[in-house]
A and B are shown apart, each in its own frame.
Chain A
C-alpha cells in the first residue's frame, strides 16, 4: 500500500490553506468556463500559462487540474439547459438532458449529472492513485524505440480513430507536428522553417496556437453562422432533489459509465467522446424504459455519459503523469506547463517530484467535493452566467486572446500569427477537421522526434530497431492496424454482402 502512504503525503500538500485556495479558484473558474459555450479548459489553461513564471509548480497544477475537472462539470449544465454542448465531451448529455429539461425535470438532470460526475471523478482519481505507480514500473523498462512507437500509437488513436475521418484527423496532426518543428533544433542548433523571421527562432508558442484555434477560430465560426438559429435557455424546473426512483435509476449508469470511461481515458488513446457515446448506447440498450430515450428524456442517458466523461477525464491524467503522453488538447497544454518549469513528465516524475504529483492527485479528490458543492446548491449562479449576451461574451474572449498573445513578447508578429491561425481554425471547423490533434501534434511531435533520433543514434542510423524490438514493433503494428483496420473491414464487407444484410432481415 505504498500508493496510500504517498497519497497521504499528497493530502498534506493539498490541504495547506494556500493550495486549497488555488483548488477553489480552479474549480470555480473551471465551472464558469465549462458553462460558457465557446470557452474550454484547453483555452483557459493556455491563457493562464504565464502564471508558471509566478507561482510554484504545485500551485499551478492544482489550479490547472481544478479548471480541467470543473469544465467537465460546468459543461453538463450548458448541455442540459441550452442544448448547445459546452464541451465536445458533453454532446451526449445534451441529447437526453435537454429533453429532460424540456419536460420539466431539469433539476433531476442537473443532479444526476453532478452526482454522477462526483462518483466517477472520485473513482477515477482512485484509479489514478493505484494505476500510476504500476504504469511507471512498466514504463521504466521502455527505451527510445518503444517510446517512439508508443507516441506513434497515441498520435494515430487521437487523430485517426476517434474522429469522423482518419485522413482529416491526421492532416490536423501533421499540421501540428509542422508547427512544433518551427524554430531552432535543440540537438544541432539548426534553424528550421523560420523563413528568416527572428521571432520564429524560439518556435511558435503553444499559447498562440491554442488561443488562435479555440478562441479566434471559434469566434469567426460563430460570427459566420448568424443565420443558423438562436439557442434558448430552458428555465430550470423541477426539484434538485432526486426521488428514490431517480436514485435507483442513476446509480448503476454512474458505475457503468465510470467502468467504460476510465480505462478508455487511461489508454494512450484518450479522448472523452468515445466513452460517452459508448455509455449512452449501452444505457439505451439496458434501460427498462427505452421509450423515454429521445422523447421525454431518460435519466440513464444523462447519468451514464456524464460519469463516463468525468472518469475518462481522470483517466487521461494517467498517461500524462506517468508517460508524459498527452492525449487531449488540455493535457497537451498542461504538458507544456511542465516544460516551462523545466520538469520532464515521464516515468521519473513520480520519483523526482512526489510532492507535486501526489499533491495534485490529492487536490483532485478535494476538487471533486468542492465541485459537487459548487454545482448543485449554486447552480442558479451558473445559469446566470449562461445569460451573458453573446456579443459581449465573444468581444471579451477576443480581448483576453489579445492579452494572452501580446503579453508573450509585445510583438505584433505574434498577433498576426494568432489571427492567421484563427482563420485556419475557422476553415477547419467549416470543413470538419478536428482541432485538438493540432495542439497534441505540436507538443508531442518534438518529443517523438527526440525519441526517434535517440533510437536511431543508438542503432547507428539503422531504422530496423523499430521492427526488431518486439514491444516497439507490436505498438507500431497496432498503430497501423488502427488506421487501416476499419477501412479494410468496410472494404471487405462491401465486397461480399453478408447474408444478414439481405432485405427482410431488418
Chain B
C-alpha cells in the first residue's frame, strides 16, 4: 500500500471486536449445550444458531483486524467527546423508573423520568417540567394507553382517579 503512516491501535474499537468475539463464543457454547432429540439430528434447532455463531466469529475477526489498523470511528464522532453529565441524568431517570414504576405507578414515575431527562437536555426549570411531565403522563395514561388497551399498571395515584 502507498500509505506509509502507521495507523495506531484503536482501543475502543478493539474492545468492541473482543466483546463480539466473546459473544460469538457464548452463542456457540449455548448452542452446543442444547439437548437435541435424535429425530432432529440432521436439521434441528441448532443448525441456524451454529451458523449465527460462526458468522459472528468471523465478523469479530474482521473488526479486531480493523481496530489494529487504526479503527473506524468517524472523525465527527471522535472529535465530540461523550458528555457524561447528561448521560448520568438520563440513566438516573431510567433506573428510578424501573425501580419505582411498580410501587408508585406509571404517572408519578414518568414525571420523575421526565424532569431528569429534561434536566439532562439543558432545561433548568424542574417545577415547570414536573407539571408538564405530570400532565403529559396522565394524558398518555388515560388517552393513549386506554385507547390502545395497553395496561401500563397504575399505582395508587391512578387508582385514586378510578383507572
A binding-site residues for B, Cβ under 8 Å: 48, 50-51, 53-54, 165, 167-168, 170-171, 174-175, 177-178, 181, 185, 187-188, 190, 192-193, 195, 216, 219-220, 222-228, 389-392, 394-396, 398-400, 402-403, 406-407, 410, 412, 415-416, 419, 422, 427, 430-432, 445, 448-449, 452-453, 456-457, 460-461, 494
Instruction: Tell me which residues across on chain A come within 8 A of B145, comparing CB atoms.
Output: 403, 407
CA A390 – CA B133 in complex, angstroms? 14
Give the residues from 76 to 109 in chain B that come closer than 8 angstroms, CB to CB, to chain A. Answer: 77, 80-84, 86-87, 89-90, 93-94, 97-98, 101-102, 106, 109
In the A-B complex, the 9 residue pairs with the smallest Cβ-Cβ separation, listed nearest first, are A461-B42, A407-B150, A391-B123, A391-B121, A391-B118, A223-B86, A395-B117, A185-B45, A449-B48
B binding-site residues for A, Cβ under 8 Å: 1, 12-13, 16, 20, 27, 30-31, 34-37, 40, 42-45, 47-49, 52, 55-56, 59, 62-63, 66, 72-74, 77, 80-84, 86-87, 89-90, 93-94, 97-98, 101-102, 106, 109-110, 113-115, 117-123, 129, 132-133, 136-137, 140-141, 144-145, 148-153
Q: Are A188 and B153 neighbours in the complex by a CB distance under 8 Å?
A: no
Known: A171-B20, A223-B86. A400 touches B117 (CB 8 A): no
Q: Are A190 and B121 neighbours in the complex by a CB distance under 8 Å?
A: no
Q: Are B77 and A219 neighbours in the complex by a CB distance under 8 Å?
A: no
Contact residue among B63, B102, B115 (Cβ-Cβ distance under 8 Å from A167): B63
Q: Are A398 and B52 neighbours in the complex by a CB distance under 8 Å?
A: no
Q: Are B43 and A453 neighbours in the complex by a CB distance under 8 Å?
A: yes
| Nearest B residue (CB) for A419 | B94
Instruction: Tell me which residues across on chain B come within 8 A of A167, comparing CB atoms.
Output: 59, 62-63, 66
**22 residue pairs bridging A and B, Cβ less than 8 Å apart:** A167-B66, A170-B59, A175-B56, A178-B52, A185-B45, A226-B83, A394-B118, A394-B120, A395-B133, A396-B114, A398-B90, A398-B114, A399-B137, A402-B101, A402-B113, A403-B141, A403-B145, A406-B101, A410-B151, A415-B101, A432-B74, A452-B47
CA A228 – CA B77 in complex, angstroms? 10
CA A178 – CA B48 in complex, angstroms? 10
| Nearest A residue (CB) for B66 | A167
Interchain nearest-CB distance for A18 vs B (Å): 15
Contact residue among A192, A223, A412 (Cβ-Cβ distance under 8 Å from B121): A223
Query: From DSSP, what is the main secondary structure of chain A's interface residues?
Result: helix
| Nearest A residue (CB) for B2 | A494
Query: From DSSP, what is the main secondary structure of chain B's interface residues?
Result: helix
Instruction: Tell me which residues across on chain A come within 8 A of B89, comparing CB atoms.
Output: 223
Known: A220-B87, A391-B117, A410-B153. A403 touches B144 (CB 8 A): yes
Q: Are A177 and B52 neighbours in the complex by a CB distance under 8 Å?
A: yes
CA A216 – CA B145 in complex, angstroms? 20
Known: A174-B59, A224-B82, A460-B42. A431 touches B72 (CB 8 A): yes
Known: A174-B59, A188-B45, A431-B77. A494 touches B86 (CB 8 A): no
Q: Are B83 and A168 neighbours in the complex by a CB distance under 8 Å?
A: no
CA A461 – CA B40 in complex, angstroms? 10
Q: Are A395 and B87 neighbours in the complex by a CB distance under 8 Å?
A: no
CA A452 – CA B73 in complex, angstroms? 35
Q: Are A220 and B47 neighbours in the complex by a CB distance under 8 Å?
A: no
Instruction: Tell me which residues across on chain A come within 8 A of B56, comparing CB atoms.
Output: 171, 174-175, 178
Instruction: Tell me which residues across on chain B come within 8 A of A394, comparing CB atoms.
Output: 117-118, 120-121
Q: Are B151 and A412 neighbours in the complex by a CB distance under 8 Å?
A: no
Instruction: Tell me which residues across on chain A come within 8 A of B123, comparing CB atoms.
Output: 389, 391-392
Q: Are B42 and A456 neighbours in the complex by a CB distance under 8 Å?
A: yes
CA A171 – CA B62 in complex, angstroms? 10
Instruction: Tell me which residues across on chain A come within 8 A of B80, comparing CB atoms.
Output: 224-225, 227-228
CA A400 – CA B153 in complex, angstroms? 14
CA A161 – CA B123 in complex, angstroms? 41
CA A431 – CA B75 in complex, angstroms? 10
Instruction: Tell me which residues across on chain B come within 8 A of A395, comparing CB atoms.
Output: 113-115, 117-118, 121, 129, 133
| Nearest A residue (CB) for B36 | A190
Contact residue among A170, A187, A220 (Cβ-Cβ distance under 8 Å from B55): A170
Q: Are A430 and B73 neighbours in the complex by a CB distance under 8 Å?
A: yes
Instruction: Tell me which residues across on chain A come within 8 A of B133, comparing CB atoms.
Output: 395, 399
CA A226 – CA B80 in complex, angstroms? 9
Q: Are B49 and A192 neighbours in the complex by a CB distance under 8 Å?
A: yes
Instruction: Tell me which residues across on chain A come within 8 A of B45, comparing CB atoms.
Output: 185, 187-188, 190, 192
Interchain nearest-CB distance for A84 vs B (Å): 14
Instruction: Tell me which residues across on chain B come within 8 A of A396, comparing CB atoms.
Output: 114, 136
Instruction: Tell me which residues across on chain A come within 8 A of B83, comparing CB atoms.
Output: 223-227
Q: Are A457 and B43 neighbours in the complex by a CB distance under 8 Å?
A: yes
| Nearest A residue (CB) for B117 | A395
Q: Are B150 and A431 neighbours in the complex by a CB distance under 8 Å?
A: no
Q: Are B148 and A50 neighbours in the complex by a CB distance under 8 Å?
A: yes
Instruction: Tell me which residues across on chain B come within 8 A of A390, comparing CB atoms.
Output: 121-122
Instruction: Tell me which residues across on chain B come within 8 A of A193, comparing CB atoms.
Output: 27, 30, 49
Q: Are B122 and A391 neighbours in the complex by a CB distance under 8 Å?
A: yes
| Nearest B residue (CB) for A457 | B43
Q: Are B52 and A174 neighbours in the complex by a CB distance under 8 Å?
A: yes
Instruction: Tell me which residues across on chain A come within 8 A of B1, comparing CB atoms.
Output: 494
Interchain nearest-CB distance for A461 vs B (Å): 3
Known: A403-B150, A406-B152. A415 touches B98 (CB 8 A): yes
Interchain nearest-CB distance for A175 vs B (Å): 8
- Which of B42, B52, B153 has the most C-beta atoms of chain A within 10 angstroms of its own C-beta? B52
Instruction: Tell me which residues across on chain A come within 8 A of B102, comparing CB atoms.
Output: 412
Q: Are A53 and B113 neighbours in the complex by a CB distance under 8 Å?
A: no
CA A402 – CA B52 in complex, angstroms? 31
Instruction: Tell me which residues across on chain B come within 8 A of A54, comparing CB atoms.
Output: 148-149
| Nearest A residue (CB) for B56 | A174
| Nearest A residue (CB) for B101 | A406
Interchain nearest-CB distance for A483 vs B (Å): 12
CA A460 – CA B145 in complex, angstroms? 49
Instruction: Tell me which residues across on chain A come within 8 A of B72, comparing CB atoms.
Output: 165, 168, 431-432
Q: Are A227 and B77 neighbours in the complex by a CB distance under 8 Å?
A: no
6 further contact pairs, Cβ within 8 A, besides A402-B106, A403-B150, A456-B42: A171-B59, A178-B56, A192-B45, A391-B119, A399-B140, A430-B82
CA A392 – CA B118 in complex, angstroms? 6
